[in-house]
Amino acid sequence: MSEIEKIANTVVKLAKPKMQPKNLFEAVRKVHPKATKGEITRGAFYAVIMAAEKYPDTVHGLHSLAMESRKDTQDDNQ
């Protein structure tokens, strides 16, 4: 299993409805302390893909969280 897959699995386990991206980053970093924001963001998008296949009802919330975390990552790079 790749590191992104591991992060994605962690995202799925830790993500909650209306969770702020900052809180998710902090929670994921407790499990994956060396993960970068970019890796966590890619893991969140990967989680969306996994959820679409297995849990279609959870996709909307994960997608929103992934998009927010992507925006946060882009803001950090500017």
Nearest Cα neighbor of 68 from 29, 6, 15, 2 is: 15
15-56 tens-digit pLDDT: 887 788 888 889 999 999 999 988 998 998 888 888 777 766
- pTM higher than 0.75: no
Q: Which amino acid is at 1?
A: M
Q: What per-residue confidence (pLDDT) applies to 27?
A: 94
**For the residues 2-27, what does the mean pLDDT come to?**
88
Indicate the burial class of 65 (C-beta count within 10 angstroms; 0-12, 13-18, 19 or more): buried
* Rounded Cα distance, 11 and 47, in Å: 7
Under DSSP, the state recorded for 18 is T
Longest dimension (CA), the chain: 36
